[in-house]
Structure 1
């Protein structure tokens, strides 16, 4: 373990050797010094930790520096072979404007129309639409009145439509905009005044609709499919001023969040996904996840990268640096070419296993037979 170019591990080992060789010290004093050495090692190991080499979240790493982005060899713009998003003309435009030739500038002669050259412009119209419903009132000879029936959901003299509500929920729950920003958007861009209380109510209504529609069950069933890798994590959140834990489970297409007052297995069981999952569970090596023995376990390489960084920075482990480099290289290769051939995959596996053997040699597991 190195700290500011000082080899803490070496100094501690030298001190331990001196303690063993010095016969003038009492056993009690030796034990006290050894205890102090343990405390020194524990404190020193924490001094060099940050969000880049440990599980410390970036939000709590006050001294973190933004990593410099490596200069890419690729040219600016779209890359060769990528799937483009080129606009294509539609056969059913919303509006057609015919542009006639100004015949005043044509040479004299007779002309006949032979067709049109088409160009289309895709644009958006940001505006509010007010629909007024007028229910007819009829009165019979006895003076009894009958009023036409308003559409379902039209209950008051003035109200927000489903389009406004859906758009507000989208901005709040998917784009994650704060309520005050959404208020400004509706007021400035659409001329529609909406309060934070109304936005909150829209979210409540949407949540009730999702619950009643059975969508939650569909999402859970999709996440429980055994033929996939399920990514799970948990993070602290604040609900009504109280500390809670937000448990997340996701695949490429599905995501499920579950807030709970507890962080461990009790909450995970109540979420109702992991107890029934038999595929590959990818997580951050937190022990409660291993209590689900019916599935296979894979560990998050983002966490591995940070732990390997610490092993290299503080302990000088070359194998850790090599493994970090290899993991980044494999990740880049997979992004650049999702269909890696068998030869390339086998080459990476061999390199991976070779570095693991080097790590085992440098950092052997503890001798279980020596435990009391």
Structure 2
């Protein structure tokens, strides 16, 4: 099979899936929980960004030259989404205020480990233990068919969380003696202090997996959905054109969706080509 034949087939398949992608985006806007993430790609040697939006039964990919809010607007999912967006707490996602947010605690565990290893932060050890205790309790409750923790359990864990954060914040309220003239502008905080401030400000988003069982502990679903794209990138090195990037992402999103729904991928692709207009 020649490269020209493959290119023609790819373009035809992608064009045929435009309507399916439109329907998918409409369904995503109505989903109760959507995992979102982004990763870098290369297109004709330049860096672009691939955005993903994924509930349990669908995968939507959207390539864009930008990483932030403008790209998310162009993807046409988050601007109209009113469910719960699960992500890695990047501020660009936080700008969508019409929906609720849940943070990936797998990211938090890695950041807490860094705070323990590099800054010897005792509070980070306590928070790590608390996260794992809550996760264990939630996993057990789900396993025995419960749909929520008891109010007493939730209050107990929230109190522990608040105590760890408040105690850790105490040293930051003290002004250390000046050892050199202060520099102009905003003073840069340590990564550990930034993490602590995030826990202080976003307790609800951090612990949403505890209060709403529809929300998982982490954002692994989105990371898994991006993994195949990264594998493709390692093999090919770069996409050659915006049209090729969009075609690949649309077809790959369709295949991922079919697999998530437990359907036959080959049969679904065959039906897609059968639906093409006859040009002979």
Q: TM-score, normalised by structure 1?
A: 0.42
What aligned pairs does 1:110-121 form with structure 2 within 5 A after superposition?
none
Displacement, 1:229?
1.8
Displacement, 1:365?
9.3
What aligned pairs does 1:1-372 form with structure 2 within 5 A after superposition?
194-211=1-18, 214-225=19-30, 228-335=32-139, 337-338=142-143, 339-340=145-146, 342=148, 346-347=152-153, 350-364=156-170
The two structures, once aligned, show a CA RMSD in angstroms of: 2.8
* Aligned mates of 1:333, 1:360 — CA distance in 2: 24
The structure where helix makes up a greater share of residues is: 2
Displacement, 1:340?
3.5
CA contact (8 A) 1:326 1:352 kept: no
Cα distance change, pair 366–325 in 1 and its aligned pair in 2 (3 A) = closer
CA contact (8 A) 1:322 1:355 kept: no
The total of aligned residue pairs comes to: 173
* Aligned mates of 1:272, 1:259 — CA distance in 2: 12
Displacement, 1:252?
0.8
2:98 is paired with a residue whose SS is coil
1:296-339 per-position Cα deviation (integer Å, ceiling 9, x unaligned): 12111111111111222222233322322333344455456443
Cα distance change, pair 219–316 in 1 and its aligned pair in 2 (3 A) = same
User: For structure 2, which runs of at least 5 residues remain unmatched after alignment?
Assistant: 174-184, 187-280
1:230 is paired with a residue whose SS is strand
Cα distance change, pair 343–334 in 1 and its aligned pair in 2 (3 A) = closer
Q: Which has the higher contact order (CA 8 A, sep 6+)?
A: 2
CA contact (8 A) 1:278 1:294 kept: yes
CA contact (8 A) 1:320 1:359 kept: no
* Aligned mates of 2:139, 2:2 — CA distance in 1: 44
